[in-house]
Amino acid sequence: MIARMTGQESVSGPPDPRFWQGNLGLLAGIGFLAVMAVLFATVMFGVSGLMASEKAAYDTAHTCASASDISSCRYEGQGLIVSTPTDKTGKQGVEVSFQDLGGKIYTAYFDVPQQVWPVDTPVEAEVWHDLLIKVNGVLTTEDPNAMPVGGYRTAGVAFGAAGLLLAAAFAWLFVLYRRELARRAEALTGAVPGMQVIPLTPDMTNYLSSGSLLLFKSPQQAAASIAGAAVAIGLAISIYWIVKGEAPLFFLGYVWVACLGFGGASAWLVAHDAWLAGNDLARGVFLRASGPFATRVRRVKGGVVTIVSIDERNLAMNFSTPLQSVQPGTGQVDYLPSSGIVMEIRDESGHVLWSRFVQVPVAVG
């Protein structure tokens, strides 16, 4: 299972290969962040567009000729104070009832504290699109001209720029990843010097078949459950949003992208190890790389792991305590081609330094 880094590490041997080399997780992560950045940019521009449209509609609206229809005009009339509530942030508010509008009550709050009107105090007020805009000439927080259109546009530009940078990084990493895949495919042909392609041993086959390397005994079912939960969350939010009608329905598209994106990424993390192990089992071979190898001990959330690197490749993290004592040097490293799981390490003389299947006394130094 992929371990999560915490940044504390102990390095021995030559430098590791470049961290982005053949890193599918990094490639997928950058791609997902690029999509989310572009998504947030469109949300910011969408919100700013709605605000600008609402502001323009308010500025061009005329005063209502009568109280019978105030759907597309500004209603100005006298109302009565019903109460003076305070919201959770401490802003002073007011509730005003209009007899000419059938006794309907409108609520609004003020950015700046105002006088506290006694109940049943008559006030001159303005209503537009079911929003209480003014009370005795004082603008409320519902004033369309106070909406932060510029702030949302600035945020949209920032997210858009970040999305373009991340998209460029994704394209670059994708090219490098394809090159690394081609290099690994060449190694499987046996044409690379210092690299042997050998059939899996019975121990390796049993190890891959048992699923002992997986976090979940049924990773496909776990991944399906995570994806199903993401869909259920998306449906619940959609139903709530439609019933409440609190925001434009096109925002639901962003909600679904976020839910399916996070759900898909989580499901991929769960099923990824099983997929790699399945590839190794289907190929039926392992690689024996000869040459200088390095070891790197890192502290992660799950404990301490060792990473072995050889042939310009970081192999899979291993929690084996004896492997932490293996010093860098020159020899042979047996590992699985897809998952990168280390099976055995030997020195130049063929002496086994560490094995996944046999307890080996490790010589330190």
pLDDT (0 to 100) of residue 211: 64
d(CA 365, CA 353) in angstroms, rounded, equals 12
pLDDT (0 to 100) of residue 187: 84
d(CA 255, CA 234) in angstroms, rounded, equals 7
Q: How far is CA 112 from CA 21, 122, 138, 140, 147, in A?
A: 56, 21, 10, 9, 16
What string of pLDDT tens digits covers the 365 residues of the chain?
333 333 444 444 444 556 566 677 788 889 888 988 998 898 899 889 989 999 999 999 999 988 888 988 999 999 999 999 988 888 899 999 999 998 999 999 998 888 888 999 999 999 999 999 999 999 999 999 988 899 999 999 999 999 999 999 999 999 988 888 888 888 888 788 889 999 999 999 988 887 655 544 566 677 788 888 888 998 888 888 788 766 666 677 778 888 887 888 778 777 777 788 888 888 999 999 999 998 888 887 767 888 888 887 888 777 778 888 888 899 999 999 988 889 999 999 999 999 988 765 545 44
**Beta-bridge partner residues of 303:** 300
CATH 2.40.50 at 63-145, yes or no: yes
d(CA 114, CA 1) in angstroms, rounded, equals 60
Domain boundaries, the chain: 63-145, 285-355
pLDDT (0 to 100) of residue 18: 60
Largest interatomic CA distance in the chain: 99
Phi-psi map region of 163: left, alpha, beta (phi>0 left; psi -120 to 50 alpha): alpha
pLDDT (0 to 100) of residue 365: 44
